[in-house]
Amino acid sequence: MLNVKNWNHVFKLDPNKPLQEECLTALCESGTDALIIGGTDGVTFDNVFDLLERVQAFNIPCILEVSTMEAIMPGFDSYFIPIVFNSMNKRYIVDIQHQAVKEYGDWINWDQMVVEGYCVLNEQAKVFEAAQCQLPSKEDVVAYAKMAEHMFHLPIFYLEYSGTWGEPELVREVAKQLDQTTLFYGGGIESIEQANLMKKYADVIVVGNIIYKDLQAALRTVEACM
């Protein structure tokens, strides 16, 4: 079973975006703790399977962050299952997950399942619209964090600013609430300085979009966490 408590840095690969072989090699050999495969739109069985096959050539944990039923497949080291705390629609909190357990229940190795309590904080992010989120106040976010830790005993609480830089002060406040639950921060990390700053508070930083804009800058964020 993967232990996210030991992680500092992960890359998130979007199966809907092309990635040259030498770029994938550099990411896999960068020293990052794991690769998460996931995205909000354009995630298909074929593009997820393609990335999985390519990553399997490397000695790095590879996790599927499940966002659609159509791209669920065996072969990953672990599966991250989002529940979106600040969704207005219970479909993204319990219903889709319920449907998946009904469908795959007999095949699920529960030791591989890791539930992520998501809080989506960028109104412009695709996931914000897709999961019908509402923007929480700081007090709301802190309360979600307390629920993740004390009520649901979730392994991960994820502050998701996908595509934009977040608020370090809020990350700091949330970090204070969490002991057993691991805090993931993702959003807009493009430099060593940004990686360092968020890593001061978050247990794990997630680096996504910059991979596709400036690979060398993405790779430097790993060094910041070593």
Ligand X SMILES: O=P(O)(O)OC[C@@H](O)CO
Ligand Y SMILES: CC(C)=CCC/C(C)=C/CC/C(C)=C/CC/C(C)=C/CC/C(C)=C/CC/C(C)=C/CC/C(C)=C/COP(=O)(O)OP(=O)(O)O
Summarize as ranges the residues that interact with Mg ion (CB under 5 A).
Answer: 14, 208-209
Least distance in angstroms from the C-beta of 74 to ligand Y? 4
User: Coil, helix or strand for 186?
Assistant: strand
Least distance in angstroms from the C-beta of 49 to ligand Y? 12
Conformational region of residue 180, where left means phi above 0, alpha means psi within -120 to 50, and beta covers everything else:
alpha
State how far the Cα of 17 lies from the Cα of 33, in Å rounded to an integer. Answer: 21
DSSP 80-93: EEEEETTBSSGGGT
Span 111-170, contacts to ligand Y by CB under 6 A: 118, 125-127, 130-131, 160, 162-163
Least distance in angstroms from the C-beta of 127 to Mg ion? 9
- CB nearer ligand Y, residue 95 or residue 176: 95
Asked whether residue 161 is marked as a ligand-binding residue, the answer is: yes
Task: Decide if 16 contacts 43 (C-beta within 8 A).
Answer: yes
Least distance in angstroms from the C-beta of 44 to Mg ion? 16
Selected from 186, 201, 222, 225, the binder of ligand X by CB under 6 A is 186
Contact status: 160 vs ligand X (CB under 6 A): yes
Task: Decide if 192 contacts 221 (C-beta within 8 A).
Answer: yes
State how far the Cα of 2 lies from the Cα of 169, in Å rounded to an integer. Answer: 29
Give the residues lining the site for ligand Y (CB under 6 A).
Answer: 14, 38-40, 65-69, 72-74, 79, 81-82, 84, 92, 96-97, 100-101, 104, 107-108, 118, 125-127, 130-131, 160, 162-163, 208-209
